[in-house]
Amino acid sequence: MRIEIDSFDHYRKSCREFLAREIVPEHPKWEENGLVERSFWEKLGQAGLLGMAVSPEFGGRGKNDYRFAVILTEELIKAGVTVPGIVAHNDVVTSYLFSLANGEQKNRWLPELCSGKRVAAIAMTEPGGGSNTADIKTVAKRQGDYYRVNGSKTYITNGINADLIVVAVKTDEGKQGQGISLLAIERDMPGFTRGAPLKKIGWHGSDTAELFFDDCKVPVTNLIGRENLGNYYFMSAMPRERLSISTVAVASAEQILQSTLDYVKERAAFNQPIGSFQYNRFMLAQLDTEVNIARIYLDNAVDRFNQGLFTLVDAARIKLWTTELQMKVADRCLQLHGGLGYLRDSIAGKNWLNSRAQTIYGGTSEVLQEIISKSMGL
């Protein structure tokens, strides 16, 4: 059933009910298998939760307000449902294609991405390089109506499930740090293979894989945007991706903090609730204050994003602050859960494991500090 979007409150309530009914019962099995089933994507598509900002003519909902994406992310976190794959599909690839693809490409790809019949991924990171696109070694050489692609990518979210992958390739090897283009490589294209699923310490329901291209033949009609402008496209799209990760960070910190507050009021030691000890009370008071600051920071960032005022540096700042805070909150809260927190299937244990990736993907904290410091003239 398609979720109505007549108001934010109704949308949130509908997302919560949908996830509880359709997704949560199946999720433990998917986490155990390390892969969400195709039905996951199809159900999200049928509910109208994919491609929210895409115009209706291409199968989307035509809702550009980023608060819809925030609500979905928050409800996924509350329900304990895997998030990175949806961020990659919705907030990264689908938004790339809607803004950069030509009319023919939009008609060819977007309806199936919005319906969940196709799953999307983005492939930038390589075995020898991560955040710096200048280090890309995957090469695409044009031969008539096709590109011949050779190279590999690693740590790719949705790498196993993906039917359409936006791949960063080098199309002009003579341009140092430039000459990057984006190609849409589709399932079963000759010369495209995948490695076995990579086993991660967290986000077990989100599949991650290595991708290999050996003389992979890609039609020129799968070039996204203009040749050699890939770096410009990355910089234009990065604020949205980092805002998405920041949303996950704040929602996760809020969830584990509330769960911990409930726990420390009930769990006793030395004949009193562990939350009543001064050290624990003061630590939780500090975390509560910092998480509330992060929520205000995020709400402001979403407003600025909706107004078109959210910059690359803004995105670096908020991702740095919120993801580092998420890790801190997850660690302190796990400690307060004691032995229970160290169990993989506990709320505290899962949150701690999932938090660790947040300061790595989408730009490491170290890279973000480089961006911020350069903006300060340093």
Q: Which residues are catalytic?
A: 241
Burial class (CB in 10 A: 0-12, 13-18, 19+), 283: middle
Cα 179 from Cα 176, distance rounded (Å): 7
Q: Do the beta carbons of residue 45 and residue 116 sit within 8 Å?
A: yes
C-alpha closest to that of 41 among 101, 7, 88: 88
Tokens read off for 28: 């433990």
Q: How many CB atoms lie within 10 A of CB 6?
A: 8
C-alpha closest to that of 333 among 323, 342, 324: 342
Cα 231 from Cα 237, distance rounded (Å): 10
- Concatenate the DSSP letters of all residues of 47-110 into one string: TT-S-TTS-GGGTS-----THHHHHHHHHHHHHT---HHHIIIIIIIIHHHHHHS-HHHHHHHH
- Burial call 329-340: b when 16+ CB within 10 Å, e when fewer: bbbbbbebbeee
In a 3-state reduction of DSSP, which class is residue 195? coil
Burial class (CB in 10 A: 0-12, 13-18, 19+), 235: exposed
Cα 173 from Cα 154, distance rounded (Å): 21
Backbone angles phi, psi at 74, to 5 degrees: -60, -40
Outline where DSSP puts E strands in the chain: 120-123, 139-143, 146-157, 164-170, 180-186, 192-194, 208-219, 223-224, 268-269, 272-273
